[in-house]
Chains A and B, each alone.
Chain A
Amino acid sequence: MEQTKSAVVNGFAATFSSTMSDSASGSVDKSVQVKLVLLGEAAVGKSSVVLRFVSNEFQPNKEPTIGAAFLTQKCRLEDRILRYEIWDTAGQERFHSLAPMYYRNAQAAVVVYDVTKASSLEKAKSWVKELQRQANPNIVIALAGNKVDLVQSSASSSGTSPSLDSEDEADDATATPGETPGSSGDPESLRQVPREEAQAYASEAGLLFFETSAKTGEGIVDIFTEIAKKIPIEHILAATRGSSGRPGASGNRTEGTRQQGVNLDDNAPKPKDACNC
């Protein structure tokens, strides 16, 4: 498992609980809240990516998302602590029924596709367009080609062999590379989205790009670290200062409109949910 970035970012709550215990209640909370939304076609592994990041777990046959409003995870970047508030689609993307509320004030988005399914990249592109239309103009978007474990052999295979078989394996159970079209021991033949193609699109569209595996953990922490580096933290701090600091709800709607004369600290009966992790 790749944990090379763990000096900067640690995805696991236990390591951080002591660091954070004092700041949750203090008025000088240095943590910055970042609302991050997940997007992508059904069954590309959106929830698995988050579950890996938040709990360092993987469930091979994960049921479609149920029961979590959003997950939170802290992420340390130099002297700053970001607190990701990660929103899952709760399946509302399936029939194009995501509410505008979902995108509202999101400062970051992870758009996930499945490297073994070409159509999922097309879907990812349409989500990126949707974000550019609906979301905060400063939003940081990362494109994640998930299930890369399916196209890797233990010995590193070379190059790409685009197998454009469009058989629809609409299933997020990534642990079953057996039923592959024309696979004769070469996992790379499962790949439908060449890394170069996705990388080129991401560069052109100004997105961060990663190939990831929620199953092995590859690339997962990197997504959140790189997003953290790119997020205009000072901007968020300025916009939410004196506000409740809840990115999903604060008035940090677009560039200019700041809340005037609103000070939640004076008025709020209690700080919002201190921490889930």
Chain B
Amino acid sequence: MDEEYDVIVLGTGLTECILSGLLSVEGKKVLHMDRNDYYGGDSASLNLTQLYRKFRPDQAPPTALGRDRDYAVDLVPKFIIASGELTKILVHTDVTRYLEFKQIAGSFVYRDGRISKVPSTEMEAVRSPLMGLFEKRRAKKFFEFLQGWKDEDPTTHQGINLDKDSMKTVYEKFGLEPGTQDFIGHAMALYLDDDYITKPARPTYDRIILYTSSMARYGKSPYIYPLYGLGELPQSFARLSAIYGGTYMLDKQIDAIVTDADGKFVGVTSGGETVKAKQVIGDPSYFGAGKDGEGGKVRVLEEGKVVRAICLLKHPIPGTDDSDSCQIIIPQNQVGRRNDIYIATVSSTHNVCAKDVFVAIVSTIVETDKPELEIAPGLNLLGPIHEKFVTITPLYTPTSTGTSDNIFITRSYDATSHFETVVEDVQDVFKRVTGTDLVLKKREVEVTE
């Protein structure tokens, strides 16, 4: 270990693995380490043994659940938006050759005590119970306005300035009811709360267009999902990195981050040896997250918590037409909260669990001191729950950009249902580390129905 590296990457979560892969491809000499003996960090998918070791160390997995190796249970519930930024990176780096994707079968939204499918076709829209007849007409006009929008053609603007007018103004112009606004803002624009309403409409417009174009791409839902679980994603980027010369070491305890007198990064100490590098990238857990008074400087701050309940079911979620997978969004207004509750379900169709088992993860941003009660509206939709593992995870964000000390820290995986913010973090860290923007070209991704 007496070599010197350009970059040491700590943690094999998706963010770190994408960065490691991109930097290796750029010709950087990368050393990538993880304290766990598996890939993925907080974004891993675990088999039953690993799952029980993590959540119930005193208990062996019940044999009734089937074979250990059939399981790949995600720790962070997210789906890939078909036309989103992660898809672009997957295609650009060609790691799609290691992966096979399936559609998520449906997207549902909770309204007035029941769940309904987010329409994916005009037929479904016409029949959807989400809106009354007149509201459907108004919504149709609204969507036609969005689809017809051309920045360079003011006749398509109908008097709206997307960059100045708030989303509230747009909703009011089309006379949309609050329930419809909930549906659009939360089930389509995928906002977690209602802060967007008073802000300029442009980002909401972009998100709705992303949603509808993703929906149009494969038909059933805007989401795709990798067979064998989300943990395949970091593994495939790690392979990309290795193929371009990246060195991988799992199961390595990191004893210290070594800095010089000015606080600049020098190296990483593991097993009594210090490896030097010009820069270090890592997830917050390697930089004092969750530990106070560690003598050194505070590098990461907690900015909230997410509660996640991983539930194993023996049946599809009631009311989803026996879908093998789905997302259910419970908009905050519907249950008197500030943040939405999400349910993400996958099953043996995605090779993540034994046959006839469904993995449903209910999650939300913690608002009270009784987080598990907060997800009750989600848990109540699941029917009988066979096994439940609840985690309350702090979300950390770095205190500095790293440009002054060459220590670049990534963000925790947030409560959003997709990877767009993960990619934003990748782009952000990439720019901070290399000084240049990450530029990707676009190609097609192949999907199994």
Per the CB 8 Å criterion, the residue count for chain A at the interface is: 41
Nearest CB of chain A from residue B108's CB, rounded to whole Å: 22
Q: Of A68, A253, A272, which is within 8 A of B243 by CB? A: A68
CB-CB under 8 A for A260 and B239, given A67-B244, A95-B248:
no
Q: Is the CB of A246 within 8 A of B448?
A: no
The 8 A-B pairs at the shortest CB distance, nearest first, are namely A249-B100, A90-B242, A97-B248, A99-B235, A101-B235, A95-B249, A267-B449, A97-B250
Q: Is the CB of B242 within 8 A of A92?
A: yes
Q: Of A65, A97, A246, A269, which is within 8 A of B249 by CB? A: A97
Q: Is the CB of B355 within 8 A of A257?
A: yes
Residues of A within 8 A of B236 (CB): 101
Q: Is the CB of B247 within 8 A of A95?
A: yes
CB-CB under 8 A for A244 and B242, given A100-B235, A101-B236, A253-B351:
no
Q: Is the CB of A262 within 8 A of B448?
A: yes
Residue B39 at the chain A interface, CB threshold 8 Å: yes
Q: Which B residues have a C-beta under 8 Å from some C-beta of A?
A: 38-39, 69, 94, 97-100, 102, 227-228, 232, 235-236, 238-240, 242-245, 247-251, 348-349, 351, 355, 444, 446-449
Q: Which A residues have a C-beta under 8 Å from some C-beta of B?
A: 65-70, 90-92, 94-97, 99-102, 104, 134, 243-244, 246, 248-251, 253-254, 257, 259-260, 262-264, 266-270, 272-273
Nearest CB of chain A from residue B443's CB, rounded to whole Å: 10
Q: Of A92, A97, A244, A253, which is within 8 A of B448 by CB? A: A244
CA distance A263 to B448 in the complex (A): 8
Give the dominant DSSP class at A's interface: loop
Nearest CB of chain B from residue A93's CB, rounded to whole Å: 9
CA distance A270 to B98 in the complex (A): 17
CA distance A46 to B248 in the complex (A): 18
Most buried by B among A102, A249, A269: A249
Residues of A within 8 A of B351 (CB): 251, 253, 257
Q: Is the CB of B243 within 8 A of A104?
A: no
Most buried by B among A90, A246, A267, A269: A90
CB-CB under 8 A for A101 and B232, given A246-B100, A249-B98, A251-B351:
yes
Nearest CB of chain A from residue B191's CB, rounded to whole Å: 31
Q: Is the CB of B444 within 8 A of A249?
A: no
CA distance A246 to B99 in the complex (A): 10
Nearest CB of chain A from residue B156's CB, rounded to whole Å: 30
Residues of A within 8 A of B348 (CB): 257
Residues of A within 8 A of B232 (CB): 101
Q: Is the CB of B94 within 8 A of A69?
A: yes
The residue of chain A having its C-beta at the shortest distance from the C-beta of B240 within the complex is A69
The residue of chain B having its C-beta at the shortest distance from the C-beta of A63 within the complex is B245
Nearest CB of chain B from residue A132's CB, rounded to whole Å: 12
The residue of chain A having its C-beta at the shortest distance from the C-beta of B218 within the complex is A267
Residues of A within 8 A of B38 (CB): 100
